[in-house]
Amino acid sequence: MVAMANERETRDADGEPGGTADGSAAVSGRAADRDAERRRRRALFLRELSEARELRARVQPRRARAARMRQQMRMRTFRW
């Protein structure tokens, strides 16, 4: 699996193995694009997760209240 990840990283913009004439600049640019895309997908996922939790709290108020109480109890008993 690690070998597959390394193989994907060494492909150029067309998906072909190998680099361009200025390999290091292209690689750092792709890495920045990949990081930006990962952050965008993560932000979208976290927004959707938050919406799903809010919806569940509205649909199942008793269960949501019990979950809040359990969380408060965990926070009260947590020691730094």
Cα distances from 78 to residues 18, 28, 69, 72, in angstroms, run: 52, 42, 14, 10
Domain ranges of the chain: 24-80
**pLDDT value at residue 2:** 47
**pLDDT value at residue 39:** 96
Give the residue with greater pLDDT, 25 vs 10. Answer: 25
**pLDDT value at residue 80:** 66
Mean pLDDT of 1-27: 53
How confident is the model over 18-69, as pLDDT tens digits? 545 556 667 788 888 999 999 999 999 999 999 998 998 889 889 888 988 9
